[in-house]
Chain A
Amino acid sequence: MAEEYVIETRGLTKEYDGTVAVRDLNLRVRKGEVFGVLGPNGSGKTTTILMLLGLTDPTAGEMRVLGFDPMRQPLSVKARVGYLPDQVGFYDELTARENLIYIAKLNGIPRKEAYRRIDEALAQMGLADVADRPVATFSRGMRQRLGLAEILIKRPQLVILDEPTQGLDPQAAREFLDIIRDLRSHGISVLLASHLLYQVQAVCDRVGLFHKGRMVLEGTVQELARQILGGGYRVQVEAEGPREILLQALRKVPDTLSVQPVNGRVYELLAQRDVRPEAAQAVVQAGGKLLSLMLEEPNLEEIYARYFQEVEHESARAAA
């Protein structure tokens, strides 16, 4: 399999006696990208992650993580991949530093090097002041950051985060996103499973939508918007002038799917891309006065909601 992918699966399937948790998954994550995994509860996100780490055996299919087979070479995979589980726990009676020392030892990092990396990682996560406090006294956000510090001391090439921002306050969540961006700027690939679509859209290069064990959509947000919303770019044009003429002019703007008058002087265009320049030109050429232009980019929340609306419609139709 090609080198440019850090994760590549083919026909990956996991059955738990009777129920299929992951079905025929073909997932590809490119080197250096942040890939978001979305999907309702029980759609197979965590199961996929566990298989990628060799922590649970697939029923069928093949996979490569950083070029290794997690089933046959789990140690090579786990030495290079940092994993933050959806529920992180630490040894409460040990201090943050002691917890990290244990992990460093399990990774076979030489003592001196380990201590250096631990200090570095704790400082980077803003935990330097509490490094020698028992983890029992830590808040949820601090634990989450300690989990990230643990990942950093491994110097991973790939980081897998399972719902890392759940339960974090908005400020902490934002910091978390910054850390993810920082990882990417260091050339580390990231697989991020989350329910917080706004956050996923903010950091991910590409996303995959899981539904009932299948990956039903995959691509950049723009691609998904085109596919599901038939565009997804909304341009609001505020202009003065004869309504019918303006409407006609705006309809002729290339890549525009529809134009709706909203109120008085406001028109809304649904387009496949950012058509602000063309819209402005159209208004002016039609003799109107352009007052303002506003762009609303395609929105993952909308894509998600629309997709599942359609699924529901279809299943309702099938039932009828």
Chain B
Amino acid sequence: MSQHVLRRERAREGSPWTGMWAVVAKEMADNLTSARMHILELLIALTAVGAVYGAIQEIMNTISEDRFLFLKLFTEGRLPMPAFLEFLGFLVPLLAIAMSFDAINGEFNRRTMSRILAQPIYRDALLFGKFLAHLFTLALVLTAIWLLIIGLGIVRLGLPPSGEEMARLLWFLLATIFYGGIWLALAMVLSIEFRQPATAALSAIAVWLFFAVFWKMIANVLAPVISPVRYGFPEEQLRLVQTQLFLWRLSPNTLYGEIAMALLRPEIRVMGFISPVQLSGAILGTPLPLSQSLLLVWPQMTGLVAATILLFALGYVLFQRQEIRA
């Protein structure tokens, strides 16, 4: 049998990005006009307003001499309303999954796939175009919410944010978009793997639930198995905590939580040894400059982006191999 099978090794004609911007434009238009997205955007906006009002009241009540009031808009909650940051932890994945769970299988189910791929484009353009469009949409929605919150803050607190605050908030926005990116990539992979959009959506939500709710519990059970404390030496204790932390950080939720904490609470000087929830206890003295806070969570940022790229690459390989016949 002849060796034409080795087609992937051969050079392909033209650019893999031919037609990508057409896909981006179409997908963004779809996203921005779909009822599904409007409902979610409304939900997020309402949550933001509610949570930020709570935060503002809390800030007003404590009348502290804080340099970083605007950052508190995101981290302060007023019981029973949690801080907006916590809402973001699950609203962003929800938004991302809602956009991407039927990205590829939807084209198959509508029988548009073979028609689209019969145009002079590569599959790369379709997949990457969709991912980019969804990422841009996410960025657009999140930026709008950011502006809304900062606007509310300016009106209610009666002062503009400082340059340092704006810089931190921008980095936080960027990190939140990256956090969304990982869920976009996951939902995309599932939309390639499963022909039924409902199956893809449910599995994406299952993965999210797993990391949001169960992973820490599982990690806490696993850690002593991996690094047992036999004699109670401090080194053993340390290793146990390190193992636990390592396991936690396999979850995007933990990574995002740590990044958010470092960016929104300049006082935080260490990431580790103590869980982010207990971090307020570790506050020592003066706040860090932004560059130092960034340095602190640079590995987490890189981790988020790397995981996104890995997931996307997996989706890419799966999609290239797929038979396009419905």
Contacts and interface: CB of A to CB of B under 8 A. Distances in A.
Interface of A: 11, 13, 46, 50, 53, 55-62, 71-76, 78-79, 81, 83, 85, 87-92, 102-103, 105-108, 147, 150
B2 interface: yes
Given A58-B4, A106-B22, A88 B118 contact: no
Nearest to A58: B4
A71 B326 contact: no
Given A55-B117, A85-B118, 4 more contacts: A74-B13, A83-B115, A91-B110, A91-B112
B69 to A, nearest CB: 44
Contact of B324 (A50, A59, A92, A105): A50
B230 interface: no
Interface in B15-29: 18-19, 22-23, 25-26
B326 A59 contact: no
B4 A150 contact: no
Interface stretch (B119-127, B171-179, B208-216): B119-127
Interface of B: 1-2, 4-5, 7, 10-14, 18-19, 22-23, 25-26, 110-112, 114-122, 323-326
A46 B325 contact: yes
B102 to A, nearest CB: 13
A105 B22 contact: yes
B6 to A, nearest CB: 10
B112 to A, nearest CB: 5
Contact of B7 (A13, A71, A78): A71
A24 B325 CA distance: 21
Contacts, number: 98
Interface of B, secondary structure class, is loop
B4 A79 contact: no
Contact of B122 (A57, A58, A74, A81): A74
Contacts of B14: 75-76
Nearest to B118: A83
A74 B323 CA distance: 16
Contacts of A73: 13
Nearest to B21: A105
A72 B12 contact: yes
Contact of B114 (A71, A74, A75, A85): A85
A298 B113 CA distance: 40
10 contacts: A53-B118, A72-B10, A72-B13, A75-B14, A85-B111, A103-B119, A106-B22, A108-B18, A108-B120, A150-B115
Given A75-B14, A79-B120, A87 B326 contact: yes
A59 B7 CA distance: 10
B2 A102 contact: no
B111 A89 contact: yes
Contacts of B121: 75, 78, 106
Contacts of B1: 13, 59-60
